[in-house]
Amino acid sequence: MELRSLAHRASRILGAAALALTAALAGAAPAHADFGTDYHDPLTAAKPLTRPDTRSCTVEVMYDQPFRNGYGNPADTPYNATLTPPAACAGPWSMVVLDLHGAVAGRQFDRLFSARIGGVEVLLSSTPEPSKDGIEWRVEHDVTRYAPLLGGPQPFSFDLANVVDDTYTGVFTVSASLTFYTASARWPAARTADRVLTTGAFGLTQAAPASSAELSFPANLERLTAEVYARGGGACEEFAYASAPDAFVAGNPGLGLCGKGPFRELTLSIDGRTAGAVWPYPVIYTGGWDPLLWRPTPGIFAFDLPAYTLDLTPYVGLLVDGRPHTVGIAVNEAEKQSNDLWSGQVNLFATVDRGSARTSGALTDRAVADHAAVTTALADHGAGSGDWQVTAARHDLARGWVQTSHGRITTEVRADLAFGSGQQLRDSGNDLTLHNTADLTRTVATWGGGPHRTTTTHESEPLDVRYLVTHDAAGSTDQRTTMDLGYHRDTTEATGAHVTARSTVDHVLRPTAHRVDGAATVRSGGSYEDYRAGGSDGPSYHRTITTLDGWPTSDNLTQG
């Protein structure tokens, strides 16, 4: 994250609220001023990885590495090493897991970091903000899908740009290891792609909203999927989901609001032709809005940002001609403020037809919009108050076939995506109500060379925010923030009319924060988190955690 004061961060979220937030947050910026000198290590109700019980080997690639200054000369990031898969646990593997352990004490912002293997991004994450006495945290990340990279030694890179000075004293100390789990009858070798390609890191700004790279694909390519790591950064783009329409910003120039509206999409293209789009989840890091909201429970995906998946198999017939092809990424909007950009990386997973030296095919149907259809309804009430409703929709279809050694395989990919944002701004930003939701349905169907197979994934991503600052006659400031974040996913696999597998995730997080400055001082925060997961391939999981002022007050787990 950029180096900035908490007050400045909040001002960029809400613009006009800066007047109220400056006094409230600037004085509370040191972590230890909130809950004494310590609070509980970060914890979450989210389900941990289910690891095989097979023989395993762990390779340590980084141990207690300090990150102090990412901008010095020389900088201490990225940390580079060589990852050598263990000969004692040779592949193919049932699972490969990247484990991180971090520690930090003092005063520090949340910082973004990433891990790469062989130049391929395999993790995008962020750090917690520390207490004075110090906290520790752990991240586990399934990297099995990157197994094609692990046939031999590979460069390992870990990038965490931190700043330490007289004010921001926290040094992040991080260890990283990979555990390789062998296969067994109960835990068979994971099915992965044959090759992993990458476009390399990208950075998209208002001045340069697109990036591309040329890639060559295997001549016997049969299936292709892409994943997009992406995050908005900077004074405005980190909080794009709360931005105002440009017309309201122009009509209220004194408020310093962020513009371009609350909707962002990143489109993926092949040879200049839009092939799909991802709508990033509104990830809120541990310093977002009010740090009291996230102590000790981080926001959804804050420690393990999503990699958004797109199935590109309908386009395979265009890519097996032996020539390089251009893969591009672009953002629909970006603010022009200091450090505002969308950054990340595109990885592609290529599965080949081992029964032939060359495949052929064709893209037969394509109805993929270059941009989502966006509507904005705005009511500017004057005096720093307004209401707006922003909607976006996308209904895409791509269909193509590939001639393989086991027959002609046709793949159809559909995406039906809907977004809505309603915001009410009052009292020059001191009173804000935000209601966002995204409903995303993606369907992949294949036929030929076997029965008709369909996988449908529906995701729902609600976000509600209530923010209110009031002042009394004595000059005291009362600030209250409440949120309701959610992530819900339902995936169904079917063969013909018969459902063969189903999995669900329901994740809800409701944090609150309350600050009072004046004759009295209040620093209080709490949260309720509920995580449920189930499916046909394993037992159900349900955990709830309640916290108050930095410590858990209840923790209930049910598995069945």
Please name the residue ranges forming H helices in 283-420: none
CA 527 from chain centre, in angstroms, equals 21
Q: Answer yes or no: is pLDDT of 308 > 90.
A: yes
Q: What pLDDT is attached to residue 163?
A: 95
Which residue do the tokens 């509980």 mark? 40
Averaged confidence pLDDT in the chain:
92
Closest CA to 126 of 155, 161, 75: 161
Read off the DSSP letter of residue 520.
S
Q: Which pLDDT tens digit goes with each residue over 402-426? A: 999 999 999 999 999 999 999 999 9
Which residue type sits at 227? E
Question: pLDDT at residue 10 above 50?
Answer: no
The pLDDT of residue 34: 65
- Percent of the chain beyond pLDDT 70? 94
pLDDT tops 70 at residue 28: no
- Average pLDDT for 21-39: 48
- Over residues 529-549, the pLDDT tens digits come to 999 999 987 889 999 999 999
pLDDT band for position 31 (50/70/90)? very low
Give the distance, in angstroms, between the CA of residue 109 and the centroid of all CA atoms in the same chain: 18
| pLDDT(23) > 80 | no
What's the CA gap between 26 and 167, in Å, rounded? 13
Distance, in Å, from the CA atom of 189 to the CA atom of 182, rounded to the nearest integer, reads: 8
Residue 225's SS3 state is strand
d(CA 207, CA 190) in angstroms, rounded, equals 42
CA gap 276, 394 in Å, rounded: 10
What per-residue confidence (pLDDT) applies to 26? 31
Residues comprising the chain, all counted? 560
State yes or no: pLDDT of 11 exceeds 80: no
Closest CA to 340 of 161, 202, 206: 206
In this predicted model, what pLDDT tens digit does every residue of 358-397 receive, in sequence order? Answer: 999 999 999 999 999 999 999 999 999 999 999 999 999 9
Determine the average pLDDT of the residues in 263-282: 98
Per-residue HEC secondary structure of 421-451 comes to: EEEEEEHHHCEEEEEEEEEEEEEEEEECCCC
Task: Read off the pLDDT of each residue in 74-95 and give the average, rounded to a whole number.
Answer: 97
What is the rounded distance in angstroms from the CA atom of residue 222 to the CA atom of residue 284? 38
Strands (E), 282-384: 307-311, 325-331, 341-352, 360-367, 373-382
pLDDT at 18 over 70: no
Higher pLDDT, 127 or 475: 127
What does the pLDDT average to over 83-88? 97
Question: Residue 248 and residue 387: Cα distance in Å, rounded?
Answer: 9
Q: What is the reported pLDDT for 312?
A: 98
Which pLDDT band holds residue 3 (cuts at 50, 70, 90)?
very low
Tokens matching residue 98: 């990247």
Based on the number of CB atoms within 10 Å of its own CB, is 186 exposed (0-12), middle (13-18) or buried (19 or more)? exposed
**Is residue 507 within 8 Å of residue 530, measured between CB atoms?**
yes
What is the pLDDT, as a whole number, of residue 30?
37
Rounded CA-CA distance 241/25 in Å is 21
Q: What is the DSSP letter of 248?
A: H
User: Residue 207 has what DSSP assignment?
Assistant: S
Q: Is the pLDDT of residue 5 over 60?
A: no
Residue 337: what pLDDT? 86
Give the whole-angstrom CA distance, residue 187 versus residue 164.
Answer: 45
Q: What digits encode the pLDDT tens for the residues 425-438?
A: 999 889 999 999 99
The pLDDT-based confidence of 29 (bands split at 50, 70, 90) is very low
Helix (H, G, I), strand (E, B) or coil at 390: strand
CA distance 176 to 149: 18
Name which residue leads in pLDDT, 25 or 70.
70
Reported confidence tier of residue 338, pLDDT bands at 50, 70, 90 = confident
Q: What is the mean pLDDT of residues 321-340?
A: 95
Q: SS3 breakdown of the chain: % helix, strand, coil, rounded to 5?
A: 10, 55, 35
- CA-CA distance, 318 to 62, in Å (whole number)? 41
Q: What integer is the mean pLDDT of 92-98?
A: 98
